[in-house]
Amino acid sequence: DTGVSQNPRHKITKRGQNVTFRCDPISEHNRLYWYRQTLGQGPEFLTYFQNEAQLEKSRLLSDRFSAERPKGSFSTLEIQRTEQGDSAMYLCASSLNPDWVLETQYFGPGTRLLVL
Amino acid sequence: QQQVKQSPQSLIVQKGGISIINCAYENTAFDYFPWYQQFPGKGPALLIAIRPDVSEKKEGRFTISFNKSAKQFSLHIMDSQPGDSATYFCAAGYSTLTFGKGTMLLVSP
């Protein structure tokens, strides 16, 4: 399967703990996006990378959130000192953008986080 | 300026009927308008997308109609099938995507 993969698929943690999610994009895709989706809502943009550079961050991305894409391939999203309000599905998407025009984003299956 | 409003919230259509979902946006800088389909427990998957230089795009049973002056676009699903039962999201953007809240479609057999 050469689609976007995310690990873990499910994570249960206690409030105050740190969690880290991983996203492996489609090979050769230069853009990688992180979204958050809560029940009954559409995906909400968090941040995106063009290769290894983090180009934009949403206001939703508080100081407790950090994302990296160190070699322009896989990416990690870390949430420090988790809160119950962080419970959501975290989606990763990747796309191949030869220029600055938006192109098709391919989504992974998501990581479902539950903070107790 | 960044909102995308989607309606209806839910829709029930008989098999073989036409499903129509509407979206409206505010930001005139938006230049990419995709529709995504999502099944429970899965990530969204692109159905069809349009750019503002055309008013309509058709791929199989799926058609996007786009009205730039009204800042509205819609998804039409022809000959709807039970397998089309899913949640549909419109989105719009120019550097990042803003998604609508989704429409839960149920196609009755």
Contacts of B21 in chain A (CB under 8 A): none
What pLDDT digit, counting tens, does each position of A66-110 carry? 999 998 899 999 999 999 999 999 999 999 987 777 889 999 999
- Is the CA virtual torsion A52, A25, B86, B79 positive or negative? positive
Position B12 confidence tier, pLDDT thresholds 50, 70, 90: very high
Rounded to a whole number of angstroms, the distance from the CA of A8 to the nearest CA of chain B is 14
Joined tokens for residue B2: 């960044």
pLDDT at B1 over 80: no
Which of A73, A79, A81 lies closest to A15, judged by CA?
A81
In this predicted structure, what is the pLDDT of residue A113? Answer: 98
Give the mean model confidence (pLDDT) for residues B71-94: 97
* Contact flag A105-B97 (C-beta cutoff 8 Å): yes
Joined tokens for residue B5: 């409003």
Contacts of A101 in chain B (CB under 8 A): 31-32
What Cα–Cα distance (Å) separates residue B13 from each residue in A19, B8, B106?
42, 12, 6
